[in-house]
Structure 1
């Protein structure tokens, strides 16, 4: 039985890795073409390549469920095409055991993807965004279509780029009163974190009143705030690439500021439930192989896997905003597609017995 486990498991595992490499490669090529529109003297071909390279861990993590679904279909489909599954069933191997054998390599990939998403992707994503922002705006304090927005009370802030050592570039600060009337606008070339405060450099402040605007400049200026480099690092990275502890802490911070935290809570629950999502998708893939796709061609299996993956991803993308509109918990939005896939897989397997 151990040889059987290794044979089936290795076939499914290699198929998942192959599909993952193809999907991520195509996505990276598409991203490179999109970034190529911004190539300039400072944001060179090599810089674009470095940006794509640094975002690869995040892309790998993002496509693990999709690859597990299609890879499992291809791996088991290959065994079905060569009649090896028929021989295994004739030898007395139950469908439940085959399900568990195929599930193990998928869960291994899920664990590896989870570790990648927790430990590697947040750092490389933040470094990629910083390098791109600084390359696209060399020597400029403001501008650019990328950057970090944050709010602290009635103060709205934008930072062009964040370095790992606690230095931010291109600060824009808009201060409003209780009636949301702008009091002043501040711009600074850069700011350095000094432990419990920031030191701004090359500061320009425009103070507004009902009848005039006064402009003042400062070479350096102290900025006392509760914003830290760790907090900005969280803001600089898309929620789906943040580690679970940071998602939890930042969602609590947003709640303390009276701001909406549903996006971060949704990303938190999706990350926690990703192994379950992969398990549910693999269950659907296995049920297809033992059910309606038992005699199907390889191309049709790939097509079916892509359709199921798109439906699953679309349902997740629709239920996320729906939770904001209709007011139900983000946990339910993350859990509903998983339960639907799991129930569908169990029902299809029950019919295949």
Structure 2
């Protein structure tokens, strides 16, 4: 059985690597052409190429299950066409044993997917963001910026804060910062506006070019609020927000690992902010490596199709269509789950579960009736 395992694994791994390399080359070309539109004013073709290269680990994370499906279908179809798989079956390779062998290889690909998605892709995504930031002089954080919330207890009572960050500078600092302070009754007490700033590891915000605007009823006639405005070159504001949470809000979602997503979701829940979009992404990130197991199970029935049932190219085309349909269903389920308010882990698990049941049904039918 060791020889059979070596034969299967060698052919499948080489096919998966070839498919992954082909797809990565295509995505690099598409990304590079897209980045060329921004070339100019400090952003050169070298920056565009470097940014496209740094995007490849993220593409690899998304492509591994699809490459596993297409590569496994190609390898098994070629073995079936040359009667190699028939000889293996005659030699004692039972369907259950074949499924367990492919499941072991699928587990290896699942571990690879997890490592790439949780460690390599976030690091490369942050590096790609920094390349754009330094070359273009910064990047905006969405149309309205990134919003965060914080709470603290003071001698005057509970205080809540709404923080808005407009953009990030080329030096890695935050810019266009606005901090609104409210009391326990929701009344606006103070506004802190800063041109730039950074967050220390202890949660202290070091702000520059600061404008402090205070609303106070103390000493005002008829309790009408008075407005006091003060400008300072520097100001330090203490917060309970860790630097990792601030980075998660400012940087693209793809740059967050599973653990960082969980921490950010916890922060949103503690401050009563909507977190379902991040919860769906968290469960998709946690369950996505298991899609490799589903893909090898989906590819195994192709080994039991006779060579006359279609050539290798036709079966590979069918595998590509299956892969595209899986990606489409995965994305549609995420959007529908967000719109309908469905349970996040069910939304993330449903596409893989549907394709797993489909693969097992096809495998059982082929083994029993063909």
After superposing the two structures, state which structure 1 stretch, 215-224 or 278-287, moved more.
Answer: 215-224
Match of 2:198 among 180, 187, 191: 191
Q: Is residue 269 of structure 1 aligned with residue 283 of structure 2?
A: yes
Which structure 2 residues correspond to residues 55-134 of structure 1 after superposition, within 5 A?
55-134=55-134
Residues 84-116 of structure 1, C-alpha deviations (whole Å, 9 max, x = no match) = 111112223112222232333332122112112
Query: 1:179, 1:196 → 2: CA distance?
Result: 24
Contact 1:172 1:187 in 2 (8 A): yes
What residue is the counterpart of 1:311 in the other structure? 325
Query: Which one has a bigger Cα radius of gyration?
Result: 2
Per mean C-alpha deviation after superposition, the further-off stretch among 325-334 and 129-138 is 129-138
Change (3 A) 1:346 1:196: closer
Distance 1:293 1:172 in 2: 65
Out of 266, 269, 286, the residue aligned to residue 255 of structure 1 is 269
Q: Is the 8 A contact 1:172 1:186 kept in 2?
A: yes
Residue-by-residue CA offset, 1:192-230 (whole Å, 9 max, x unaligned): 52634121123356889xxxx998643212122233321
Structure 1: gaps spanning 5 or more residues:
none
- SS of residue paired to 1:226: coil
Q: Give the equivalent residue in structure 1 for 2:168.
A: 161
Alignment of 1:208-223 (within 5 A): 217-223=231-237
Residues 144 and 150 (structure 1), Cα distance of their counterparts in 2 relative to 1, 3 Å cut: closer
- In 2, the alpha carbon distance for the partners of 1:296 and 1:241 equals 42
* Structure 2 CA distance for partners of 1:241 and 1:82, relative to 1, 3 Å: farther
Q: CA deviation at 1:235?
A: 2.7
Asked if 1:322 corresponds to 2:359, the answer is: no
Q: Aligned-pair RMSD on alpha carbons?
A: 3.3
Paired with 1:316 and 1:180, the residues of 2 have a C-alpha distance of: 43
* Structure 2 Cα separation of the partners of residues 68 and 244 of structure 1: 22
Deviation at 1:187, TM superposition (A): 3.7
Which deviations, in whole Å up to 9, do the C-alpha atoms of 1:312-349 show, x marking residues without a partner?
Answer: 11111122122233232111111111111111111111
What TM-score, normalized to structure 2? 0.82
Residues 297-318 of structure 1: per-residue CA shift (max 9 Å, x gap) = 2322222112111211111112
Contact 2:190 2:212 in 1 (8 A): no
Query: Does structure 1 conserve the Cα–Cα contact (< 8 Å) formed by 2:24 and 2:60?
Result: yes
Distance 1:113 1:4 in 2: 25
| C-alpha distance in 2 between matches for 1:180 and 1:72 | 62
Matched, 1:172 2:177: yes
Task: Indicate conservation of the 8 Å contact 2:196/2:207, yes or no.
Answer: yes
Inter-partner Cα distance in structure 1 for 2:300 and 2:140: 51
Q: Secondary structure at the match of 2:309?
A: coil
SS in 2 for 1:273: helix
Q: Is the 8 A contact 2:39 2:48 kept in 1?
A: yes
Aligned counterparts, 1:199-210, within 5 A: 199-203=206-210
Aligned to 1:203, what secondary structure does the other structure show? Answer: strand
Give me the whole-angstrom Cα distance separating, in 2, the residues matched to 1:307 and 1:18. 18
2: CA distance, partners of 1:257 / 1:134: 33
Q: 1:202 to 1:45 in 2, by over 3 A?
A: farther
Per the alignment, in what secondary structure is the counterpart of residue 240 of structure 2? coil
Describe the SS at the equivalent of 1:157: strand
CA distance in 2, matches of 1:59, 1:182: 46
Q: Give the alignment partner of residue 281 of structure 1, picking from 295, 305, 311.
A: 295
Whole-Å separation in 2 of the counterparts to 1:346 and 1:35:
43
Match of residue 301 from structure 1: 315
Shift of 1:181: 8.7
Structure 2 stretches lacking a partner, 5+ long: 151-160, 216-226
C-alpha distance in 2 between matches for 1:268 and 1:180 = 35
Alpha-carbon spacing, 1:162–1:342, altered in 2? closer, same or farther (3 Å): farther
Query: Relative to structure 1, is the Cα distance of residues 143 and 119 closer, same or farther in structure 2, using a 3 angstrom cutoff?
Result: closer
| CA gap 1:296/1:57 in 2 versus in 1, 3 angstroms | same
